[in-house]
Structure 1
Amino acid sequence: MVTKGSVGKLSFWAVVVSLAGVVLFIALRPDPVWVDLATVTRGELEVSISEEGKTRVKDRYLVSSPVAGYLHRVPLEVGDRVSPGQLLTEVDPMPSSVLDARSRAEAEARVAAAQSALNSTRQKVAAARAEAELAEKELVRLQSLSADRFVSKDRLEQAESAADRANAILRSARFDEEVMIHELKAARTRLEVSAASSSGNGNVERVGVRSPVEGAVLQMVRKSEGVIQAGEPIVEVGDPAALEVVVDVLSFDAVNLAPGVAVRLSGWGGKVLEAVVRRVEPVGFEDVSALGVEEQRVKVVADIVSPTPDWSTLGDGYRVDATFVLWSGGDVLSVPTSAIFDHLEGKAVFRVEDEVAVLTEVTIGRGNGLDTVITEGLEAGMTVIRHPDRQVEDGARVRER
């Protein structure tokens, strides 16, 4: 028989056992894992590469000296406008060297020797002339006798040959005389014309150095006057309005670029400019980063397509920040890339529902390193765990830090 007292005792102990079970469950269950959370969002996403570049004039012309000589001072400054055919400077012929006492004595001796040689040659000319005249007279005499047949034909031919030979010797002697005259003139010029004795008032044949194009002076390679050799650069000119942008890109990123890729230019002090890739050079080069790491880089050349007034203050060699846009989406679902991890043969995330981690497989699209497009598996507004560690499992309790 159950009495009221026994029923009350049973109820009391039942409550005590229940409370003890609840306390034991709470005490023994695992603590929630502290995690960082992120929200699945829908909006714009862009995949891009950002590097530092600089501007440069497309067509540069290095004007050099056409001849060796004495360069006049260039009356130009960097930035001065030039037009095609404009005279930039002039080059005088190389001035004569100064003759010292020994060189002057030698020059005077050469003049005297040339004069003596000329006198000797003139005597030879006189002798040859006399021989030629005698041969001509003999030929005329024999020709007159030949008409009356007092001279044989052979004798007449010998006289003609002797006359021809005498005239040839005379012509040769006269040529030698002309040579001696020129040599005497050269010796006198060497003696009379020198940097020490030249008055500088004579007419000098100057060579003009002119601009090949319309543009401005970009660099003064040589400004002061002085002796210059043929082919030595003087000034660099080009059109500052025809600018391009050169960016050194890591070879790992350059393989994703091609002509026509859109580029944004910023960080130069003005509004953001639009540009487009014109050429990706096929040859890389080695560069050392600021951290001392050796990198393989490739030069990428881009043309500015924004209106010229927007970048009229840009000049040659200015620094810009270039952003190459590889892909962009206007209304895409994305999550932080740090929330995605490998699972089986695909990708997955931990979705949070009522403070419980739920393993969710997803299909991903393009990513920019910070955010990744989700094509299947999630919806906007859901919450996912960023940087999940080994403590996070499917069904584990989590709590936001």
Structure 2
Amino acid sequence: MKAPPFDGKRALLAALVLVLLGLFLYVALRSGPLARIPVTTARVQEASIHPVRFGIGTVEARQIHRIGPTLTGRLLQLDAEVGDSVRAGQVLGEMDPVDLDDRIQAQEAALSRARVLAQESRIRQDRAEVQLRRYETLLKASAISEETTSDKRHELKLARSALQAATRDIERLRAELAALRAQRRNLALVSPIDGFVLTRDADPGTTLMAGQAVVQVIAPGTLWIDARFDQAGSAGLSEGLAVRIVLRSRGLEPVEGRVARVEPVADAITEELLAKIAFDTPPAPPPALGELAETTVELPATPPGPVIPNAAIHQQDGRPGVWRIEDGRPVFAPIRVGAADVRGMVQVLDGLRAGDLVVVHSASPLTVRSRIRATGPAPQGPAA
């Protein structure tokens, strides 16, 4: 038989079809549904975890000294402004003494008069004693009668009683004068500590009740953080742990501190645990009371064990797990996780061993049938 003639157009069309089919297969295998999913991986490390607890709180003062009058009166002067530094014993202001200075002056005059009277009584007593001795001598010589001597004894007794009364009067006047002077000193508003003025609650001319605060003074060394931590993640929080404090006004400049106290009563409504965080060194200038602060408490390191990046953990059927690579294919492995640190590393208590290869990131969700292509290891923090 004679061979069919060569048809160049059909051959060219067939070649074009083959090329298009090859391109389709190439695209399908490289970026289509049949393509391998690019993933980044990480090896399970054997390392320790430094667990952290995050809390937020406000700057507070352990002690606030509220300085005010002990008696009702009018504020005469006040020489303290908010933010002023004060010293212990410094007079910040004074209450109006009204007639107290006049009463002190009158009491001093009365005390001087009582001293003069006491001196006169002492002189009369001495004179009566001398006369009584002389009359008793005359009585022994039968120069005078017993009745006359008895009168002198009575005069001495009266002189002694007058001196005792004058002495008691002096003691009473002294006590009253000391009370008036103490009352006068209490009119001065004195700072009990070295610190700074927190608030100024009254102005000169204001009538104040006893115990009402005029100024409030605190010491910079008494500032601390009233912090709150989630109860669900507060295990291990205890007194003495190091704390990294970031004050809202200081940006990213951390301040070091310590857990001063963990409160024995938690907040049942917000489900938070309360703790007091003390500064290692009081910040200068001192932060404002009520300023927000972020606190990071670093707990003691855990024993060495398997750790993975937090990004590698996924949830399936309510259980945490990771995609572990076995023979080039992903297999979902349930795990039990423990503590985490600030680097994003998580302790694995069960389900993985050191050296296992796990998927950290994938371009699309994985299944057990997924074909994967490793693009390189995921960046990790340094092992602890």
TM band (smaller chain) = 0.5 to 0.7
Change (3 A) 1:64 1:285: farther
Partners of 1:392 and 1:358 lie apart in 2 by 8
Structure 2 counterpart of 1:276, from 252, 258, 271: 258
1:221 deviates by: 1.6
Change (3 A) 1:208 1:360: closer
Partners of 1:270 and 1:337 lie apart in 2 by 24
CA contact (8 A) 1:362 1:378 kept: no
Partners of 2:209 and 2:256 lie apart in 1 by 45
1:359 deviates by: 5.2
Partners of 2:333 and 2:258 lie apart in 1 by 40
Tell which deviates more after alignment, 237-246 or 86-95: 86-95
Partners of 1:296 and 1:330 lie apart in 2 by 29
Q: Is residue 71 from structure 1 mapped to residue 75 from structure 2 by the alignment?
A: yes
Partners of 2:74 and 2:191 lie apart in 1 by 19
Q: Is residue 301 from structure 1 mapped to residue 276 from structure 2 by the alignment?
A: yes
Unaligned segments of structure 1, at least 5 residues: 1-22, 96-203, 287-293
Which amino acid in 2 is paired with 1:320? A
Q: Is residue 377 from structure 1 mapped to residue 380 from structure 2 by the alignment?
A: no
**Local SS of the residue matching 1:46:** coil
Q: Is residue 398 from structure 1 mapped to residue 378 from structure 2 by the alignment?
A: no
Q: Is residue 265 from structure 1 mapped to residue 245 from structure 2 by the alignment?
A: yes
**Local SS of the residue matching 1:282:** coil
CA contact (8 A) 1:66 1:209 kept: no
How is 1:222-233 mapped onto 2 (pairs within 5 angstroms)? 222-233=202-213
CA contact (8 A) 2:259 2:278 kept: yes
Structure 2 counterpart of 1:217, from 197, 212, 215: 197
Unaligned segments of structure 2, at least 5 residues: 1-21, 100-182, 376-384
The aligned counterpart of 1:38 is 41
1:87 deviates by: 2.0
**Local SS of the residue matching 1:224:** coil
Partners of 1:324 and 1:390 lie apart in 2 by 35
1:300 deviates by: 1.4
**Local SS of the residue matching 1:252:** helix
Which amino acid in 1 is paired with 2:257? A
Which amino acid in 1 is paired with 2:43? V
Partners of 2:190 and 2:209 lie apart in 1 by 17
**Local SS of the residue matching 1:233:** coil
1:235 deviates by: 0.6
Partners of 2:362 and 2:199 lie apart in 1 by 54
CA contact (8 A) 2:39 2:372 kept: no
Partners of 2:329 and 2:35 lie apart in 1 by 9
The aligned counterpart of 2:223 is 243
Partners of 1:354 and 1:260 lie apart in 2 by 49
CA contact (8 A) 2:66 2:216 kept: yes
Which amino acid in 1 is paired with 2:346? T
1:389 deviates by: 9.7
Which amino acid in 1 is paired with 2:330? A
The aligned counterpart of 2:121 is none
Partners of 2:236 and 2:303 lie apart in 1 by 21
The aligned counterpart of 1:313 is 285
Change (3 A) 1:381 1:341: closer
The aligned counterpart of 2:307 is 334
Partners of 1:60 and 1:297 lie apart in 2 by 26
Count of matched residue pairs: 258
Q: Percent identity?
A: 22
The aligned counterpart of 1:208 is 188
Q: Any idea what the Cα deviations from partners look like across 1:313-358, whole Å, max 9, x if unmatched?
A: 33342443210123446976422345446899x9753322564224
Q: Any idea what the Cα deviations from partners look like across 1:85-111, whole Å, max 9, x if unmatched?
A: 32222222579xxxxxxxxxxxxxxxx
Partners of 1:264 and 1:36 lie apart in 2 by 35
Partners of 2:199 and 2:243 lie apart in 1 by 29
The aligned counterpart of 1:134 is none
Partners of 1:250 and 1:362 lie apart in 2 by 24
Partners of 1:55 and 1:348 lie apart in 2 by 40
Q: Is residue 52 from structure 1 mapped to residue 56 from structure 2 by the alignment?
A: yes
CA contact (8 A) 2:49 2:339 kept: no
> What is the RMSD of the two structures over their aligned residues, measured on CA atoms?
4.2
The TM-score with structure 1 as length reference comes to 0.52
1:216 deviates by: 2.0
Partners of 2:261 and 2:362 lie apart in 1 by 39
Partners of 1:250 and 1:225 lie apart in 2 by 49
Change (3 A) 1:284 1:377: closer
The aligned counterpart of 2:149 is none
CA contact (8 A) 2:312 2:323 kept: yes
**Local SS of the residue matching 2:211:** coil
CA contact (8 A) 1:260 1:277 kept: yes
Which amino acid in 1 is paired with 2:260? R
> Which of these two proteins has the greater Rg computed from alpha carbons?
1
